A and B are shown apart, each in its own frame.
Chain A
């Protein structure tokens, strides 16, 4: 479904951040602030 283009689940990813930003990302995700919906960390 994804490769065929019928589904784009990454539409729910609101933030892509380096792994070192995890502490701040957790605080904001927990507070549901700044539009945080789904965070992907990149090591």
Chain B
């Protein structure tokens, strides 16, 4: 028997003894877990926003050491230190060979995409436990240097999900040198996205949140923290971008004002900044549409649901979201910024820089 984190109903999590897994297919690997992280998406099930009515072992971010390998495993050996991506791939289906391993067609028959400890993703036992069965071990085990507990332990555990998700957020919009990046959400994904944006050469990174500890961490990473709790985050960002350009001759580029890249790292559970108890799933995209510069790029990495019975609005319950689509085709943000300046002088103090 081994210990596992079991979600038996929403908000009811216990540590329980469960059967140890066995090798089932000859391509399986058993992983002895040394570190396993809690993800924001675990909270979707914990809060009951995604709930199938069945007990489950939760978790999908493991790092560990290979304990056993099936007869058909060729590239992974007992004793290898590996992390395992959240999404279980096969490596040979049409989607995997095109690089979309998170949409694997093999491991969750009839659906695209399988994962450990996640509702609707194939029913695989989660990774917040001691020993994990990893299907298609050769395709899923990412071998890593070093020993368990060394100085990279808590860096490498983030390679299962959090860091690649953040890197993907920067890669799909090609963040590059000179970009002005605005990230809504200073959870692990938002903060790691800031880190990746700097590595890729971003000139400025703003990180928006309402929680003081998270804003402080964003500042430690070199980003400009923006407190959204006063409801004026978009204004403050546009003002700061405009102020940075004040006094610098920039003939002909006035229309370019705004952020060249905007990232939603919050998703469907965004809160109304004026009343943190109220959910407002499109409030981030509303702001991003105002902030993004002409020819800018939007990176929506936050999770949205195709149906959400607990949502406040009828539209969101059906997975329908109203967003300011047309404004993305507006040829300038300049007029908006000036009107914000006027409004700021009337009502709101500038954010500290």
Asked if residues B217 and A37 are in contact (CB atoms below 8 Å), the reply is yes
Asked if residues A40 and B35 are in contact (CB atoms below 8 Å), the reply is yes
Asked if residues A19 and B3 are in contact (CB atoms below 8 Å), the reply is yes
**Cα A14 to Cα B66 with chains together (Å):** 27
Complex contacts, A8 vs chain B, CB 8 Å = 155
Complex contacts, A30 vs chain B, CB 8 Å = 11, 43, 46-47
Interface size class of B (residues with CB under 8 A): 35 or more
Taking the closest CB of chain A, its distance from the CB of B51, in whole angstroms, is 14
Asked if residues B37 and A38 are in contact (CB atoms below 8 Å), the reply is yes
Partner of B187 from A23, A37, A43 at Cβ < 8 Å: A37
A2-B152, A13-B154 known; A29 vs B34 contact (CB < 8 Å): no
Asked if residues A40 and B37 are in contact (CB atoms below 8 Å), the reply is yes
Whether a CB of chain A sits under 8 angstroms from the CB of B259 is no
**Cα A16 to Cα B153 with chains together (Å):** 11
**Cα A42 to Cα B3 with chains together (Å):** 11
Whether a CB of chain A sits under 8 angstroms from the CB of B38 is yes
Whether a CB of chain A sits under 8 angstroms from the CB of B106 is no
**Cα A20 to Cα B42 with chains together (Å):** 17
Complex contacts, A19 vs chain B, CB 8 Å = 3, 5, 15, 36, 128-130
User: Could you give 14 example pairs across A and B, Cβ below 8 Å?
Assistant: A2-B156, A12-B195, A19-B3, A19-B130, A22-B13, A23-B15, A26-B46, A30-B47, A38-B38, A38-B162, A40-B38, A41-B5, A41-B35, A41-B38
Residues in A1-43 with C-beta less than 8 Å from chain B: 1-3, 6-14, 16, 19-20, 22-23, 25-27, 29-30, 32, 35, 37-43
Whether a CB of chain A sits under 8 angstroms from the CB of B199 is yes
Whether a CB of chain A sits under 8 angstroms from the CB of B211 is yes
Partner of A40 from B11, B157, B191 at Cβ < 8 Å: B157
**Cα A6 to Cα B201 with chains together (Å):** 13
What's the A-B contact tally at a CB cutoff of 8 Å? 106
Whether a CB of chain A sits under 8 angstroms from the CB of B352 is no
- Closest residue on chain B to residue A41 by CB atoms: B36
Complex contacts, A7 vs chain B, CB 8 Å = 155, 195, 199
Q: A10-B154, A38-B162 are in contact. List 10 more A-B contacts (CB 8 A).
A: A11-B217, A13-B37, A13-B154, A22-B13, A22-B128, A26-B46, A37-B187, A40-B38, A41-B35, A41-B37
Asked if residues B192 and A29 are in contact (CB atoms below 8 Å), the reply is no
Complex contacts, B155 vs chain A, CB 8 Å = 2, 7-10
Asked if residues A37 and B199 are in contact (CB atoms below 8 Å), the reply is no
Asked if residues A11 and B221 are in contact (CB atoms below 8 Å), the reply is yes
Asked if residues B13 and A9 are in contact (CB atoms below 8 Å), the reply is no
Whether a CB of chain A sits under 8 angstroms from the CB of B145 is yes
Taking the closest CB of chain B, its distance from the CB of A17, in whole angstroms, is 9
Residues in B14-73 with C-beta less than 8 Å from chain A: 14-15, 33-38, 42-43, 46-47
A9-B158, A19-B128 known; A3 vs B152 contact (CB < 8 Å): yes
Asked if residues A37 and B15 are in contact (CB atoms below 8 Å), the reply is no
Partner of A42 from B35, B46, B145, B214 at Cβ < 8 Å: B35
Whether a CB of chain A sits under 8 angstroms from the CB of B244 is no
**Cα A23 to Cα B110 with chains together (Å):** 34
